[in-house]
A and B are shown apart, each in its own frame.
Chain A
């Protein structure tokens, strides 16, 4: 199975730096950006499987970025990262098409589990669509 292409979008530079290091080590192809517009540019240029998306960002916010990503390519699975302790924002994200959510600070193993589930789902859908 090929490596998962992960796009990490978060305005905290230290966070994106750390997390991309960790995920790369665990066999993912990681691209990290710090705002929604940059994320959209990456989507245009590269094939991305899973997007880890922070909700609270300057410029266009997480939900808006999510909608644009889904509009551009519905196959890309998005996992929402939220610093809010409540599920309200997560519900909004999933309602707008996100696959799952994770609350900061998260357990790395749980996150990678969710990433791999999202990736599997994308593969499955691609397979189904290919068959059809």
Chain B
């Protein structure tokens, strides 16, 4: 007979292939996580940065513009007030009154009553000659007819001069107004106390690098800037003409003539109406945007920390996930191995069943052949005694060996059945009923009848029907044999549910000869038999015992000699996990 043993067909993926697979999975997971989380984060960060920068620069421009407007108002107001002061005096006093030194001194004192605004005051005729003067300098004899401010005031009646040195050789501003009396123009002129005016701007402290100063139309500084340059210095400021009115510019970093680096600066400017000066507010770009930059830096740090956090989390998560995948793969491998093992066992079982069947037939032939020879020898009367005894011995030996082979096939079959153990929903009434039918006729001819006391509502049990039937055959055969020598008897088969213990009970009681106590003790031992040699193997009850135990149940026996024996089998509704797990479940 050709025996094909199925080969193992598992294709275990090589370990290095798996490793590569996990590594690529790892990289893909991390990339995906990064794309999904870091990209949006960067977009949001960029959006916030752009929006905030724009917002901040708008605010800065507004701030600068308000600074410029503020200072513009102050300066214009300052000069307006000074001009009004002079105009009030010029129009309320006559030339005669003003020419009087004492009176002019009194007026000068009144002018400076609210603060030291005026340095000196003078009254001049239309020739530029002083008629009266009050002030710290000796200017009474000076001729002003050729000065620019004299020409201007004569032309426009009001003049606010640029800063100039004049006769006193100190930077100063002159405010002059005119009046006329009897067709004669005269001038009231005053010098602005420059310190009070300059401090208005020069003391302005805008941060570390901010400065405010004034420049006239010729680019001459009218106040001393905080940094770089002095009053009356000419500076080269790339501002527009007077008509530009006002604006804001950003000057790129440059290097001065003296090698000093001027950083990028933001400059706001506006032209005053009178005097025609340009007010400049200037600050280093970096300082203006320091706060913005700080905020942006904080955001950048936050962004980096977030990205690092995401990276760490994604690495940890991915490692965990890969581990889960690895575990799953290993579980699958283990299951696969088990499956292969089980299917190996199953095919081995089928093989065993086939072999057992093929061997049982020749065994039957040998056994019958032996008997034929024995019969023939019995008929021969003239055989030598020694030959006869040797022949019988050989035949007996052959019989013994056949029985031995039979035992082997039995065990093989048992193994085959066990490896093919099929756990399914079983109606025990039907299961035991089939076996009763199988044995009923044989029993009847021995005068034994079966009585079924079946619980019609018996719940189904998850168990192996085929193995159970093996047990019933054994128990019934014993029960029938127990009636030997009795003309009639009965076997009662009772099924009932035992909800308390979680299973069902099958009781098989006979009216046979009963079992003595010393036999009861050993009856489930293997190879223990009370039957004559050659009848029964002594395996029936021990096999039954093992089957029931494997199915998670128990088997009990009680007997009284002469009255009969009762076997009680208990089976749980579901078999133990170990059995259910290691066997095929039909329909699952």
Residues of A within 8 A of B (CB): 12, 14-15, 18-19, 21-22, 25, 56, 81, 83-88, 90-91, 94-95, 99-101, 103-110, 114, 117-118, 120-121
Nearest neighbor of A110 in chain B, beta-carbon distance: B535
Listed by A's residue number, 30 A-B pairs whose Cβ atoms lie within 8 Å are A18-B365, A18-B369, A18-B371, A19-B368, A21-B372, A21-B375, A22-B368, A56-B357, A83-B356, A83-B358, A84-B360, A85-B357, A85-B360, A87-B473, A91-B435, A91-B469, A94-B437, A95-B437, A100-B441, A100-B442, A101-B438, A103-B360, A105-B366, A105-B367, A105-B403, A106-B367, A109-B535, A117-B442, A117-B446, A120-B445
Nearest neighbor of A56 in chain B, beta-carbon distance: B357
B14 proximal to A (CB < 8 A): no
| A15–B434 touching, CB < 8 Å | no
| B437–A91 touching, CB < 8 Å | yes
CA distance A14 to B369 in the complex (A): 8
CA distance A21 to B403 in the complex (A): 21
In the assembled complex, which residues on chain A have CB atoms less than 8 Å from the CB atom of B234?
Answer: none
In the assembled complex, which residues on chain B have CB atoms less than 8 Å from the CB atom of A106?
Answer: 364, 367
How many Å from the CB of A82 to the closest CB on chain B? 8
Enumerate B185-204 residues with CB–CB distance to A below 8 Å: none
Nearest neighbor of B417 in chain A, beta-carbon distance: A86
How many Å from the CB of A86 to the closest CB on chain B? 7
How many Å from the CB of A62 to the closest CB on chain B? 13
B256 proximal to A (CB < 8 A): no
Q: What count of chain B residues pass the 8 Å CB interface test?
A: 39
Identify which of B290-298, B305-313, B406-414 touches chain A: B406-414
In the assembled complex, which residues on chain A have CB atoms less than 8 Å from the CB atom of B417?
Answer: 86
In the assembled complex, which residues on chain B have CB atoms less than 8 Å from the CB atom of A109?
Answer: 535
The main secondary structure of chain A at its interface with chain B is helix
B239 proximal to A (CB < 8 A): no
In the assembled complex, which residues on chain B have CB atoms less than 8 Å from the CB atom of A22?
Answer: 368, 371-372, 375
CA distance A9 to B377 in the complex (A): 27
Given A85-B409, A87-B473, A114-B442, CB of A15 within 8 Å of CB of B360: no
B451 proximal to A (CB < 8 A): no
| A99–B466 touching, CB < 8 Å | no
B136 proximal to A (CB < 8 A): no
In the assembled complex, which residues on chain A have CB atoms less than 8 Å from the CB atom of B365?
Answer: 12, 14-15, 18
A83-B356, A83-B357 are known; give 11 further A-B pairs, CB within 8 A: A15-B365, A83-B361, A85-B353, A85-B413, A86-B417, A87-B470, A90-B438, A101-B438, A105-B367, A109-B535, A118-B445
CA distance A34 to B369 in the complex (A): 18
B249 proximal to A (CB < 8 A): no
Nearest neighbor of B442 in chain A, beta-carbon distance: A100
In the assembled complex, which residues on chain A have CB atoms less than 8 Å from the CB atom of B534?
Answer: 107
Top 3 A-B pairs, shortest CB-CB distance: A85-B413, A18-B368, A117-B445
Which of these, A91, A104, A118, A121, contacts B438 with CB under 8 Å?
A: A91
How many Å from the CB of A87 to the closest CB on chain B? 5
Nearest neighbor of A90 in chain B, beta-carbon distance: B438
In the assembled complex, which residues on chain A have CB atoms less than 8 Å from the CB atom of B367?
Answer: 105-106, 108
CA distance A107 to B371 in the complex (A): 10
How many Å from the CB of B240 to the closest CB on chain A? 113
CA distance A91 to B465 in the complex (A): 13
| A121–B434 touching, CB < 8 Å | no
Which of these, B369, B409, B438, contacts A87 with CB under 8 Å?
A: B438
CA distance A25 to B374 in the complex (A): 12
Which of these, B360, B372, B469, B473, contacts A83 with CB under 8 Å?
A: B360
In the assembled complex, which residues on chain B have CB atoms less than 8 Å from the CB atom of A117?
Answer: 442, 445-446
CA distance A108 to B375 in the complex (A): 12
In the assembled complex, which residues on chain B have CB atoms less than 8 Å from the CB atom of A21?
Answer: 372, 375
In the assembled complex, which residues on chain B have CB atoms less than 8 Å from the CB atom of A25?
Answer: 375
CA distance A109 to B532 in the complex (A): 12
Given A106-B364, A107-B534, A107-B535, CB of A94 within 8 Å of CB of B441: yes
Which of these, A86, A105, A108, contacts B413 with CB under 8 Å?
A: A86
Nearest neighbor of A118 in chain B, beta-carbon distance: B445
Given A18-B372, A91-B469, A107-B535, CB of A83 within 8 Å of CB of B364: yes
